[in-house]
Chain A
Amino acid sequence: MRDPRMSATPTTTGLSTLEALESEGIHILREAVATARKPVILFSGGKDSVAVLHLATKAFWPGRVPIELLHVDTGHNFDEVIAFRDATVERLGLRLKVAKVQDYIDDGRLRERPDGTRNALQTVPLLGAIADGDYDVVFGGARRDEEKARAKERVVSLRDEFGAWDPRNQRPELWNLYNTRHLPGQHVRVFPLSNWTELDVWRYIDREALELPDLYYAHEREVFERDGMLLAPHPALARKESEPLKRRVVRYRTVGDASCTGAVESAAASVADVIAEVAATRITERGATRADDRASEAAMEDRKKEGYF
């Protein structure tokens, strides 16, 4: 028998990495939707959810995306991102449901935290919206390269009645045979971008010429420094006297809750600039810009066990 190792040169046959990732994402979306009773895509207007939604438009072409969208709005989102979210939904002719943390605070189901951040408060409205919408398959844009607990999660992740992830008792996930079966009350979270890196997402945004909120590109903005992060002034953030405002040219690597998402100093004004910057960065996406993931060594794992994404 001939040695197959001598037969192929890696770059001349087969799909490129980006083609393979796109194709895998489409496959995952189609599988999960085919076996779902009522699927939903979590869509925030951030770059990862934009990529997931774009994959869905390809997976179900030439039909419209046969999936509702859901956004958990902390009430501390950037206005630009909310406007972008709504314009995207409108353009594609889709249905968006919004679960508001503020509603839960107003009617007493949630209490504001002393530090004013609301990222951790999203779990309760998320699970409420999943139950209210009767969703059984919930798509998210999480990637395994984001964080060490996420690196452990399956593409199809079974969640119990509490939305909780049990990392010690995950289903084996074999070949590309995804098992979305679950009992009543349970649901599955599905991550079509599991195997993508931040750089892959940006290269895909470039290749597909996808629109994103302007926050992702360099702009001048008033910021103040806290714990090595650059935060934009926001009504939810009590700025101390020792934290003077200064004008800086910045951009955002993630566009989550404004009370805990930091900007990075950057002159990257175009997609090509961002790709060059991300390729050379020495700091992980979450390490640079997410205060809540710095809380403890297992902050993300702990939140996921409570039902967080």
Chain B
Amino acid sequence: MTATASATPALENAAPASATPASATPALENAAPDSRQTSLLRFATAGSVDDGKSTLVGRLLHDTKSILADAYEAVERVTRERGGEGIDLALLTDGLRAEREQGITIDVAYRYFATPRRTFILADCPGHVQYTRNTVTGASTADALVVLVDVRTGVADQTRRHLAVAALLRVPHVIVAVNKIDLLGWERAPYDAIAADAAEHGSGLGIEVSVVPVSALLGDNVASHSRRTPWYTGPTVLELLESLPSADQIDTAHLETGENVAGWRLPVQNVLRPQGAAISDEYREYRGYAGQVSQGIIHVGDEVVVQPSGRRTAVAGLDTADGPLDSARTGQSIAVRLADDVDVARGDLLSSVPDAARAVKNIDAHVAWLADRPLRVRDRVLVQHGTALVQALVVRISGVLDISLPGGTLDSSIVHGDSLALNDIGVVSLLLASPLAIEDYSLHRRTGAFVLVDPQDGATLAAGTARAATPGTGPDGYLSI
């Protein structure tokens, strides 16, 4: 949608000068940082239809020289065939036939671009209310969420919905891009009002927002500072994205400074026990537990608790195909050898001592319901948590989020409801068939997250984030609701 037929002089001038492969322009220093050294930031975009989301994405890709000539020409050609002028940047991201025909984004498109400082994975999410489930998909892995707001309409229902999704999933950074400021003559007052409104909604939801005035169409404050907004001295959208630490970086930075000594977690994926299939005889008796560190830094020698069994042992070694390690950090895929021959299987969680995860049989959680059929009390579902999959029973639905309540917190905006429909966010209590080490999502992003799966057809039904553990531990050591 957006920025289609209107002429876009700035963009036309910036179009690649050459059209043929033979006349390739000299190296684009800006487009090729070394991925062996740069860090990765995953971010998602959100916003109502017509707020200019696809144009902003197109602008970011364009201004970071990430659109190659043939892709650019294809979009230029299609724009022309449809009677438009210049280039409809939205066509770069709307990859499906139905999307281009209807001019809307239906599903998340992933884009890849880079600057000398960083590489980016961009999840370009749809704006329509009916596709909120895809926004949840895009935001679940995001280190940052860019929410577009049209300066003429301000914070809308859909903006609040997207801020609520960001709060629910604890996306570490939210950037509110107040778009189309060119249409109001680059005036400061409307921007200031929206910035204050967005900040208020954000703080109600417990998230801090960075607000930037932009014109995605003309490029102001997206990748370069605008001379037309002298009253804005903050960073551009791209500068923010380049400098924000990722969720993993925040986690490991805390650990390295010793400021917040949270423990480490590793869900066990497979038991590596090659025997006759070992790549060489020396590994015939090898026994290691494969997994990706979901939080923290593991050191050889660390004491370990295996959940849910609660057995204790120590880390005897950390292995990779490239050789042993002394330590492994968030995001690394490794194999762990343990000092004792304890029973460990896929689905178990290895956890540090003394701040080990605890296994629970009852959980309270926020659930974003993503399926067409509703969720009701007494429904049977599967909980996929880390590498574990267990049966569960929905014992209570205590409320549904009403995003129309201004300035509310996630909790205060929960109103009464006893079922969840598509795109609802609600508070649900689950009884698990066997214990799982599910933790408070606000403290442990990976071990607090789960998805609900339909036991009959295997469909993914919901995104779940466990809430703060209810006080009162039952006699069996499990938390009670």
Chain A residues in contact with chain B, CB under 8 A? 3-5, 7-11, 13-24, 26-27, 30-31, 33-34, 57-64, 66, 144-145, 147-152, 167-168, 170-177, 179, 181-183, 194-195, 197, 199-200, 203, 207, 228, 264-265, 276, 279-284, 287-288, 297-298, 301-302
Contact = CB atoms under 8 A, between A and B. Distances in A.
A33 B270 contact: yes
Contacts of B119: 17
A119 to B, nearest CB: 19
Contact of B370 (A5, A15, A172): A172
A230 to B, nearest CB: 10
A194 B93 CA distance: 16
Nearest to B332: A23
Given A16-B40, A27-B269, 9 more contacts: A34-B270, A171-B460, A175-B140, A175-B446, A181-B453, A195-B121, A228-B21, A279-B32, A287-B68
B27 A276 contact: yes
B107 interface: yes
B292 A27 contact: yes
B277 A183 contact: no
Interface size class of B (residues with CB under 8 A): 35 or more
B290 A30 contact: yes
Contacts of A228: 20-21
Contacts of B173: 5
Contact of A195 (B21, B110, B277): B110
15 contacts: A5-B245, A10-B39, A11-B38, A27-B292, A30-B270, A58-B320, A61-B320, A64-B277, A152-B108, A175-B141, A175-B451, A176-B446, A203-B34, A264-B21, A298-B96
Contacts of B449: 174-175, 177
Q: Kindly name the residue among B35, B94, B387 whose own CB sees the greatest number of chain A CB atoms within 10 A.
A: B35
Interface stretch (B278-286, B397-405, B406-414): B278-286
A10 B117 contact: yes
A62 B140 contact: no
Contact of A16 (B36, B41, B134, B320): B36
5 pairs of A and B residues whose beta carbons are closest in the complex: A181-B458, A63-B274, A148-B95, A279-B32, A8-B245
Interface in B282-334: 283, 286, 290-292, 319-322, 329-333
Contact of B331 (A14, A59, A151, A302): A14
Interface string B119-153: 10100000000000110110011000000000000
Interface in B408-445: none
A184 to B, nearest CB: 11
Interface in B75-126: 78, 92-98, 100, 106-112, 117-119, 121
B109 A281 contact: no
A170 B109 CA distance: 12
B406 to A, nearest CB: 24
Contact of A283 (B24, B110, B242): B24
A33 to B, nearest CB: 7
A297 B18 CA distance: 22
B95 A199 contact: no
A187 to B, nearest CB: 12
A26 B254 CA distance: 26
Interface of B: 16, 18, 20-22, 24-28, 31-32, 34-41, 68-71, 74, 78, 92-98, 100, 106-112, 117-119, 121, 133-134, 136-137, 140-141, 172-173, 208, 242-246, 248-250, 252-254, 256-257, 269-270, 272-274, 277-280, 283, 286, 290-292, 319-322, 329-333, 335, 346, 370, 384-387, 446, 449-451, 453, 457-460, 463
A59 B95 contact: no
Given A10-B243, A144-B110, A62 B278 contact: yes
A172 B137 contact: yes
B331 A194 contact: no
Contacts of B137: 172-174
B121 A172 contact: no
A55 B243 CA distance: 30
A207 B20 CA distance: 32
B475 to A, nearest CB: 32
Nearest to A11: B39
Contacts of A23: 292, 331-333
B208 A10 contact: no
A279 B244 contact: no
B459 to A, nearest CB: 7
Contacts of B110: 144, 151-152, 194-195
Contact of B321 (A14, A17, A61): A61
A31 B268 CA distance: 10
A204 B107 CA distance: 30
Contact of B250 (A8, A64, A66): A8
Contacts of A207: 36
A264 B70 CA distance: 14
Nearest to B106: A168
A301 B71 contact: no
Q: Kindly name the residue among B27, B274, B460 whose own CB sees the greatest number of chain A CB atoms within 10 A.
A: B460
Contact of A152 (B109, B242, B460): B109
B19 to A, nearest CB: 9
Given A8-B245, A60-B272, A177-B450, A34 B346 contact: yes
Contacts of B70: 282-284, 287-288
B290 A15 contact: no
Contact of A203 (B18, B36, B69, B111): B36
A13 B272 CA distance: 29
Contacts of B446: 175-176
B431 to A, nearest CB: 20
B458 A183 contact: yes
A17 B120 CA distance: 9
B274 A64 contact: yes
